[in-house]
Amino acid sequence: MTSHEEIIEELRGLIADIRLTDFEQRVNDGHSLDGIVEAFRGIREGLRPYLVSAERMQAGLRPQEHFFRPDTGKSYDLTGLKPHEFFPYSPVIGPLNPISPPFTFHMENEMMFAHGNFDSQYCGPPESVHGGYVAALLDELLGVTCVVSGHGGYTGTLTVRYISPTPLDKELHAKAWVHEMKDRKAVIFGELRDGDQLCAEAEGVFIRPKGNFMAGDSK
């Protein structure tokens, strides 16, 4: 039986193919676009009865799926979980979100590592990743580092320094680590590399809201 993940993977491939398709040439070759549009509309019509109307979040379709909300009855425990498992709908690492690039995160020796690539749909300068997506990846990486360190909060500031172009369709590696934690503020450092070439580095300041249930804090 086809899985949710397989549907997402096919949709990612479709989006990438659409990005590179010369539709004008297809029409010039005598192929109408009507069938494509009708197929898409048919798929959307079939999904519409199952759309979930609830608070939108990275952790799930429904509040009860968000395991670190106080009203779920579930505790804030990420033991044994990988970031894509507790943020499955993330636009950066979510395996159930078709716009997310295929990146995976994992923690090792108090450092968060990322591996993956960006294809043509994330193109900015020629043959390079758009800087906004580089920043989004680093923001997610630094933010997840906060979460697994028990300091989940909001991005206060994110400073990204672009050192060299980040190439498309190449396996990239990134890492992040906690530089400082004090009261409700955490400072996280990170970097993105293409092999030995440093592409970008980032510094993020994350603020934990008062009364943040993610840390059991009421101050």
DSSP-based three-state secondary structure for 151 = coil
Q: Are 188 and 204 in contact (CB under 8 A)?
A: yes
Between residues 73 and 153, the one the model is more confident about = 153
pTM attached to this predicted model: 0.86
pLDDT tens for residues 8-60?
Answer: 999 999 999 999 999 999 999 999 999 999 999 999 999 999 998 877 777 77
Domains delineated in the chain: 4-50 (no CATH), 63-207 (3.10.129.10)
Nearest of 90, 73, 100 to residue 147 by alpha carbon: 90
Residue partners of 99: CB distance under 8 A and separation at least 6: 15, 91
Q: What percent of the chain has pLDDT over 70?
A: 87
pLDDT given for residue 109 in this prediction = 87
pLDDT given for residue 65 in this prediction = 60
pLDDT band, residue 92 (cuts 50/70/90): very high
